[in-house]
Amino acid sequence: MPVIAPMPAARPAQLPAQRVGADETVAAGTTVDHLTETYRAHYRSLLGLAALLLDDTASCEDVVQEAFIRVHSARNRVREPEKTLAYLRQTVVNLSRSALRRRILGLKLLSKPMPDMASAEEGAYDQLERDALIKAMKGLQRRQREVLVLRYFADMTEAQVAETLGISLGSVKAYGSRGIAALRVVMEAQT
């Protein structure tokens, strides 16, 4: 979506002269007419200011219109009518910053993508391999099976396995190597 580039105002807008009458005073803030004329005269430059801070035209237009609405609702606080444009500019900058903060927060809160999941076929194949391994483990001698389960499934060291089973460290190594060799033979025969 194209972004509107900032365009300087061709010439300062001629603002209507302030009337001081019985029903309207300058001390009460900027008038609606003055605010409207300022907005019309500087709309493109305000849009350009927002374009420097934001990345899409729709957001820029929204920010500029929201700035006008906010300054309009607070026009009684603008004591000097010549500062109306400054109020509009500052409001555009603040609203642009807020929009960027909301975007960044939204990106941070997006859920992380799920890790690549295995397909149903891969899951079924893995289950078949596990079943074959369990069946092969059941065919081992009791001590070989105990050593392999404690060593590789319980993630114990050889010394911990020896202590748990009450056998020597050399026996753990011997039962482990014989058990792995027997598993290899059974698993290769199945493929």
Position 32 confidence tier, pLDDT thresholds 50, 70, 90:
confident
Position 57 confidence tier, pLDDT thresholds 50, 70, 90:
confident
36 token code pair: 């409207």
The dihedral through the CA atoms of 45, 49, 54, 55 has a sign that is: positive
With 0.85 as the threshold, say if the pTM is over it. Answer: no
72 token code pair: 């309009």
49 token code pair: 């200011």
**C-alpha 4, offset from chain centre:** 27
Q: How do residues 111-160 score in pLDDT, each as one tens digit?
A: 666 667 667 777 788 888 888 888 888 889 999 999 998 998 888 899 99
Burial classification of residue 166, based on how many CB atoms lie within 10 Å of its CB (0-12 exposed, 13-18 middle, 19 or more buried): exposed
- Cα end-to-end distance, the chain, whole Å: 58
- 180 or 32, greater pLDDT: 180
User: Amino acid identity, residue 130?
Assistant: R
| Contact (CB, 8 A) for 81 and 34 | yes
CA distance 52 to 66: 17
Q: How do residues 33-52 score in pLDDT, each as one tens digit?
A: 888 898 889 999 999 888 88
CA distance 132 to 188: 11
Contacts of 25 (CB under 8 A, 6+ apart): none
DSSP annotation string for 17-32: PPP--SS--GGG---H
